[in-house]
């Protein structure tokens, strides 16, 4: 059970503590933030509402701890990460239970998230020892006008304190995807978990605590993003921000100082379906891609752009699969569960009503109970409808019928977002041309968009983000290059 067994020390009564200087503490604010169970809509857990003074202390301690950590051999850093990964996987059940209760993630997917996170941490440790163990050696005579009098040795050094802010939908996986690269690269961490998902993240942090990382190296402050977010992101002690979430990331980018930013933001991933596509494969991918975790994935299929000539067939196949989706509580491992909050459900409903008013075809009856919204495919969506452009982050999927691939590409590229997209066709030449024309960070050919496997590069363009994630890219993003140049009194040529 959450907060019991080895996790007992992270709670005090019905409140979860925050993590600072290697210890679990209650905030001096005396205030807590409630986490509402999306299914029951009742308070499930409470976390500390940390104060600005506490954030200041955390930053100070994180800075000091980082200086020592940077002097810890790379293999030792990797060893601790491997240990944390094993502890995380060992405790997958209680952590998954938190995911079920605070973000209504279906039970099996919740376990998968924790296991995937353990694997990500181990892979990062492996990748880190390889790529951080290598530097570059340059000689001066390759540049015009120079003799061979200078040797330049470059290596990768830590940035300092990394502020990690993940979103609610993968509070464990998208937290470790920031923590592990930061740590292997010699940085310290201040984690601000999403409020919905905070308790899962606190359990994950405790696994790192149990692994024996030095005090103050990993810290976790809780509180509403709207209250402590600006103070954290504009804090002078922060040397790098790795953020995943919605438009908040755009505002953070404008306010943050001159520090490296990794921003993974929203998406409106288009699925372009050509006439020659295998429609059974497409339908399976649309249902998995559009409706898994009730559409609350940044990489969910968010608009289907299908050639008119095959649209009826495809819609029929998708509808047949939608009818089989199990709707209900995450504890029963249902496919469609309550969306994260009432405000999210209201937002989704607003998009649905707008589409209704403007004449979209409802393939299923619109049904909602509390935060639970039944899966809905909207056919004959037109560009004047909000759902054609906005990200519902819910189980509602628009279908736009197109008469040419160019029309599909045009719709995709007219979006403010540019995260992922996909194209279904048996013609690899067409697929490549379309992929090259789509203004998105990634295009999947004959499969739905996905971030994983977690070592693949993952990036958005336009309002979908800055920089690139994926294990290798994240490690490289959390270091800077330091050079030492050896100057010789006279040219020296090897074996010369
Ligand atoms: N491209 C990608 O890799 C991914 C993108 N996303 C996107 O994330 C969104 C859904 O996630 P959601 O959690 O609702 O996103 P939000 O942007 O609302 O929140 C993300 C995180 O930011 C925090 N936060 C809120 N306000 C501030 C602030 N002023 N300063 C600093 N931090 C703040 C939140 O804390 P709190 O919860 O306390 O408000 C949370 O931890 C979708 O748009 C989705 O597409 C999701 C996953 C992956
Ligand atoms: O938030 C998201 O949508 C995740 O980054 C998705 O990860 P996945 O595509 O590998 O499930």
Is position 264 annotated as part of the catalytic site?
Answer: yes
The CA distance from 67 to 217, in Å, is 10
Asked if residue 193 has pLDDT above 90, the reply is yes
Ligand 2 in reach of 265 Cβ (< 6 A): no
Residue 471 has a pLDDT of 98
What is the count of structural domains for the chain? Answer: 2
- Name the active-site residue from 54, 113, 127, 264: 264
Asked if residue 2 has pLDDT above 90, the reply is no
Residue 496 has a pLDDT of 82
For residues 249 and 355, state if they share a domain. no
At 1, is the pLDDT very low, low, confident or very high (cuts 50, 70, 90)? confident
* 107-131 and 173-184 helices, crossing angle to 10°: 10
* Residue 174 main-chain phi, psi, to 5 deg: -80, -5
For residues 153 and 295, state if they share a domain. no
Choose the residue to mutate in 248, 267, 449 for probing ligand 1, maximizing ligand atoms within 8 Å of C-beta.
Answer: 248
Residue 64 has a pLDDT of 98
For residues 242 and 301, state if they share a domain. no
- Is the distance from CB of 209 to CB of 10 less than 8 angstroms? no
452, part of any domain: no
**pLDDT > 70 in the chain, percent:** 100
Among protein residues, the one whose CA lies closest to atom 7 of ligand 2: 451
Ligand 2 in reach of 298 Cβ (< 6 A): yes
Ligand 2 in reach of 116 Cβ (< 6 A): no
Ligand 1 in reach of 230 Cβ (< 6 A): yes
For residues 254 and 273, state if they share a domain. no
Asked if residue 97 has pLDDT above 90, the reply is yes
**pLDDT > 90 in the chain, percent:** 99
At 3, is the pLDDT very low, low, confident or very high (cuts 50, 70, 90)? confident
Asked if residue 152 has pLDDT above 90, the reply is yes
In this structure, the number of other CB atoms found within 10 A of the CB of residue 13 comes to 8
354, part of any domain: yes
Q: What is the mean pLDDT of residues 354-362?
A: 98
Ligand 2 in reach of 297 Cβ (< 6 A): yes
Q: For residue 327, give the CATH number of its domain.
A: 3.40.309.10
| Span 250-296, pLDDT tens digits | 999 999 999 999 999 999 999 999 999 999 999 999 999 999 999 99
The interface pTM score, or ipTM, of the predicted complex is 0.95
Q: How far is the CA of 161 from the centre of ligand 1 (A)?
A: 20
Encode 103-132: b = buried (16+ Cβ within 10 Å), e = exposed: bbbbbebbbbbbebbbbbbbbbbebbbebb
For residues 142 and 154, state if they share a domain. yes
For residues 217 and 274, state if they share a domain. no
Q: For residue 30, give the CATH number of its domain.
A: 3.40.605.10
367, part of any domain: yes
For residues 39 and 90, state if they share a domain. yes
Q: How far is the CA of 399 from the centre of ligand 1 (A)?
A: 27
Asked if residue 393 has pLDDT above 90, the reply is yes
At 480, is the pLDDT very low, low, confident or very high (cuts 50, 70, 90)? very high
Structural domain span for residue 331? 268-443
Residue 345 has a pLDDT of 98
492, part of any domain: no
Among protein residues, the one whose CA lies closest to atom 3 of ligand 1: 264
Residue 201 has a pLDDT of 98
Q: What is the mean pLDDT of residues 313-320?
A: 98
- Is the distance from CB of 461 to CB of 133 less than 8 angstroms? no
490, part of any domain: no
Q: Tokens 């697929």 correspond to what residue?
A: 431
Q: How far is CA 125 from the centre of its chain?
A: 19
- pLDDT averaged over the chain? 98
- Is the distance from CB of 275 to CB of 408 less than 8 angstroms? no
């Amino acid at each position: 059970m959450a907060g019991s067994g080895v996790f007992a020390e992270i709670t005090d009564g019905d409140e979860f503590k925050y993590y600072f200087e290697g210890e679990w503490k209650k905030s001096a604010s005396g205030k807590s933030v409630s986490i509402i169970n999306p299914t029951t809509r009742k308070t499930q857990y409470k976390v500390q509402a940390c104060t600005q003074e506490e954030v200041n202390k955390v930053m100070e301690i994180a800075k000091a701890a980082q200086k020592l950590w940077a002097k810890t051999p790379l293999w030792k850093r990797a060893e601790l990460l491997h240990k944390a990964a094993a502890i995380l996987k060992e405790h997958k059940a209680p952590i998954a239970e938190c995911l079920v209760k605070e973000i209504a993630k279906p039970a099996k997917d919740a376990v998968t998230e924790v296991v995937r996170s353990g694997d990500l941490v181990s892979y990062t440790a492996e990748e880190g020892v390889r790529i951080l163990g290598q530097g570059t050696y340059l000689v001066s005579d390759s540049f015009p006008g120079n003799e061979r009098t200078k040797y330049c040795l470059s290596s990768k050094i830590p940035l300092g304190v990394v502020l990690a802010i993940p979103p609610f939908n993968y509070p464990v996986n998208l937290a470790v995807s920031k923590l592990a690269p930061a740590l292997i690269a010699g940085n310290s961490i201040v984690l601000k978990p999403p409020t919905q998902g905070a308790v899962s993240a606190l359990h994950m942090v405790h696994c790192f605590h149990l692994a024996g990382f030095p005090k103050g190296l990993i810290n976790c402050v809780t509180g509403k993003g709207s209250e402590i977010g600006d103070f954290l992101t504009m804090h002078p002690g922060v040397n790098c921000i790795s953020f995943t979430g919605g438009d908040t990331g755009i505002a953070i980018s404008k306010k943050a100082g001159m520090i490296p930013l990794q921003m993974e933001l929203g998406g409106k991933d288009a699925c372009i379906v050509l006439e020659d596509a295998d429609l059974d494969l497409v339908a399976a991918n649309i249902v998995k891609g559009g409706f898994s975790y009730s559409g609350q994935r940044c990489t969910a299929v968010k608009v289907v752009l299908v050639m008119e000539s095959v649209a009826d067939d495809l819609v029929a196949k998708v509808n047949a699969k939608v009818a089989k989706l199990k709707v209900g509580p995450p504890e029963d491992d249902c496919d469609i569960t309550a969306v994260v909050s009432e405000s999210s459900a209201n937002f989704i409903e607003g998009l649905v009503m707008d589409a209704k008013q403007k004449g979209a075809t409802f393939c299923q009856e619109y049904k909602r109970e509390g935060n639970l919204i039944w899966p809905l495919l909207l056919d004959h969506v037109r560009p004047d409808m909000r759902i054609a452009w906005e990200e519902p982050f819910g189980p509602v999927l628009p279908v736009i019928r197109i008469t040419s691939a160019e029309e599909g590409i045009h719709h995709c590229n007219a979006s403010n977002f540019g995260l992922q997209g996909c194209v279904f066709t048996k013609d690899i030449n067409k697929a490549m041309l379309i992929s090259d024309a789509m203004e998105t960070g990634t295009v999947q050919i004959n499969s739905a968009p996905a971030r994983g496997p977690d070592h693949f590069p993952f990036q958005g363009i336009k309002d979908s983000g800055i920089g690139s994630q994926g294990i290798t890219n994240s490690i490289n993003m959390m270091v800077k290059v330091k050079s030492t140049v050896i100057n010789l009194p006279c040219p020296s040529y090897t074996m010369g």
